[in-house]
Chain A
Amino acid sequence: MAKDIEISNSESKFILEALKLKQRLDGRACDQFRDVEIELGEAYGDVTVTMGKTKVQCRISCEVAQPYEDRPFEGLFHITTETTPMAGAQFENGNNTGEEEVLISRMIEKAVRRSGALDVEGLCIIAGSKCWSLRADVHFLDCDGGLIDASCIAVMTALLHFKKPDVTVLGEKVTVHPVDEREPVSLGVLHVPVCVTFSFFNPDDTEENIKGEHNGEISIIDASLKEELLRDGVLTVTLNKNREVVQVSKAGGLPMDALSLIDCCHKAYGIVEKITDQIQRAIKQDSIARNQYAHILSSENARES
């Protein structure tokens, strides 16, 4: 069994006392998200996201498969999350049924798959018999908190970046054109959900938290691993740029005032806007870099427009 990481009493006290003074170990403000670094790989759909020391890689692959019988017009899309001890000692090898692992994978699944971020109907090749089966493999390479946030960004960037081979359908015959033969096609991404995680700490005793009018709970955005270990409650908000709440999850933990939770959602929106822009920029830069010789190779004549 994997050993839970434990934090020494003196260190936990230090972190909590610092938080009461609105100070964090890494010098961030309470509502400051770590800088996100998005790295796009050589292949389509290979993305590595780094947030501080947290590192998540997502790789998308596809194959031709048969659609589900009850949904003949939809392709298949699966997200698998792989937690190995590589990310940290708290994860067990080959065991994905731990509390934390289940919550992480459910959250990503809800944020991306169930919110309909990917147009699965666009994956259909021949209704009822052939479709694309898309698979997103998320690997946690290093964990310093914020795994959900990082993997959501990674999956969404990878979906935007990925291109599937072009197909032509002649009657029942399907031809898949290799990538070097014909320009592959992008996926239909309908919206870009981004997760933002808040962690709550209770500076007073439990009674004050439940009965009091004081609402003195501390909330911080994007906790690091140490802060995650010490927190009393957690809220993950998933939003997209269209001001839609895709998913909110506050599964127990410290009871929080309803208004302060709504306030958190509004704070999250600002961050979501910024990250969405960053994702779009990264994708755009990559496509420019890939097509830098396109204008030389093109046989088209320059036209007056």
Chain B
Amino acid sequence: MSRFEIYSPEGLRVDGRRWNELRSFNCSINTHPNAADGSSYLEQGNNKIITLVTGPQEPASRSQVNTKQASLSVTINLTKFAKMERSKSSHKNERRTLEWQTSLVRTFEKNLMLHLYPRTSIDVQVHVLQLDGGILGAMLNGITLALIDAGIAMYDFVSGVSVGLYDTTPLLDLNSLEENAMSSVTIGTVGKSEKLSLLLVEDKVPLDRLESVMAIGIAGTHRIRDLMDKELRKHGKTRVENLTN
């Protein structure tokens, strides 16, 4: 059916990667210092997302005040021009978007030290400028970076990636062409551990193959964690230099 060869016998994928290779990963933090308390810009392949974190701040209304811990909210703005074809709707109240938002909130609720900021709210906005598969994983990475930039206490990095299963070969970090052609698994790992904060399997995966798919995913998320860590340290270094000069 497809004109493309998803995974060639030589072991190459549509964009020329091998099965265990990530897409190009670029990130920067503190991109919008005036607009928000923490911000990040992330490119994972052709995914391009901007994340803004405001807070901890006073909640907009008194009814939202939680006396025990900060209340976290995530808003996803999937722009109309994010896909190949311009979409008519703003995706704002789509169930899929709502589900993503809840998943992200629930993931970060357990990985942030929210109890340190009672009676406050932390608001995260994710703007998806370009969409190319594995967006949930990319959003996890983007939010992690922005939260770190905002200086909110976290236990560890949360890094995410998607893995597909093509016949019997697991393929790491799917782009949208691959994502449409096979079943995909999104994994969100905490730090360098094997603890999964988020695990979403969509479409059929044989039960006995799940383990190998997850193993590749965990390795991928650890790699992404290292890449993010490198960028953060670089950023920190330049900041210190600017201060001392």
CA distance A253 to B103 in the complex (A): 8
Query: A252–B108 contact, CB under 8 A?
Result: yes
Count of A interface residues, CB-CB < 8 Å: 41
* Interface residue tally on B, bucketed by range: 35 or more
Whether, in the assembled complex, B14 has its beta carbon less than 8 Å from a beta carbon of chain A, the answer is no
Query: A114–B202 contact, CB under 8 A?
Result: yes
Query: A262–B206 contact, CB under 8 A?
Result: no
Whether, in the assembled complex, B155 has its beta carbon less than 8 Å from a beta carbon of chain A, the answer is yes
Instruction: Pick from B111, B198, B207: contact of A265, CB below 8 A.
Output: B207
Whether, in the assembled complex, B50 has its beta carbon less than 8 Å from a beta carbon of chain A, the answer is no
- Chain A residues near B111: list those with CB within 8 A: 210, 255
Whether, in the assembled complex, B98 has its beta carbon less than 8 Å from a beta carbon of chain A, the answer is yes
Whether, in the assembled complex, B200 has its beta carbon less than 8 Å from a beta carbon of chain A, the answer is yes
Query: B204–A255 contact, CB under 8 A?
Result: no
- The segment from A54-62, A103-111, A294-302 that touches chain B is A103-111
CA distance A32 to B233 in the complex (A): 48
Whether, in the assembled complex, B99 has its beta carbon less than 8 Å from a beta carbon of chain A, the answer is yes
Query: A261–B207 contact, CB under 8 A?
Result: no
Query: B99–A210 contact, CB under 8 A?
Result: no
- Chain A residues near B95: list those with CB within 8 A: 102, 105-106, 109
Query: B107–A252 contact, CB under 8 A?
Result: yes
- Chain A residues near B109: list those with CB within 8 A: 252-253
- Chain A residues near B193: list those with CB within 8 A: 210-211, 255
The winner among A99, A233, A235 for most chain B CB atoms within 10 A is: A99
Query: B203–A99 contact, CB under 8 A?
Result: no
CA distance A109 to B106 in the complex (A): 21
Instruction: Pick from A110, A233, A243: contact of B208, CB below 8 A.
Output: A243
Docked complex: A227-274 residues within 8 A CB-CB of B = 232-233, 235, 239, 243-259, 261-262, 265-266, 269
6 contacts between A and B (CB under 8 A): A115-B203, A232-B110, A246-B203, A248-B185, A252-B109, A253-B197
Q: Using a CB–CB distance below 8 Å, which chain A residues touch chain B? A: 97, 99, 102-103, 105-106, 109-110, 114-115, 206-207, 209-211, 232-233, 235, 239, 243-259, 261-262, 265-266, 269
